Amino acid sequence: MDGFFEAPMLDRVRVLELADRRVANPWFYPAAREKGVRHLPDIRHKAAVTFLDVVVFNGKIASRDLFHGLVHATQVKVLGIAEFTELFVRGFLRARSYFLVPLKAHAFALDARFASNPLDRFSVEKEIDAWRLDGRY
């Protein structure tokens, strides 16, 4: 992941690969569904979940999934927890789809770019800064 992420970020992020278990859906899902919130992702079926600076895998670690998790950890670092959370929640409520939240869409675009040519290095932090400055989140 060198060349895509700054060394201090790579040193700070921790990775956990689960065996014989999966990350459970959050405690608030039933209440959110009762209030009409739809299209919540089923965390148990995701390859990985990022919790600030910890990426937890529901199985074997794949490089593209690791990259995606590191993008989210970098978004949290660049934006801060409060701004990241606000942008994520507002984006979800506006798009009504987890996958169309701008923070997610950007992470998917960056991981697709990585997967298409892992040797073509680019700064994820600069990409996040550019989206932030352009108001794309």
Instruction: Please tell me the predicted confidence (pLDDT) of residue 104.
Output: 97
- C-beta separation of 17 from 60 below 8 A: yes
What does pLDDT average to over the chain? 96
What is the pLDDT averaged over residues 33-47?
92
| 53: exposed, middle or buried (Cβ count in 10 Å: 0-12, 13-18, 19+) | middle
Q: What is the model's pTM? A: 0.94
Instruction: State pLDDT tens for residues 71-84.
Output: 999 999 999 999 99
CA dist 117 and 70 (Å) reads 17
pLDDT over 90 (residue 39): no
Any idea which of 56-60, 92-96, 112-116 has the lowest mean pLDDT?
92-96
Checking if the pLDDT of 96 tops 90, the result is: no
Kindly indicate the confidence band of residue 46, based on its pLDDT and cuts at 50, 70 and 90. Answer: very high
Instruction: Read off the pLDDT of each residue in 11-22 and give the average, rounded to a whole number.
Output: 97
Least Cα distance to 41 among 66, 22, 63, 54 occurs for 22
Domain boundaries, the chain: 7-133
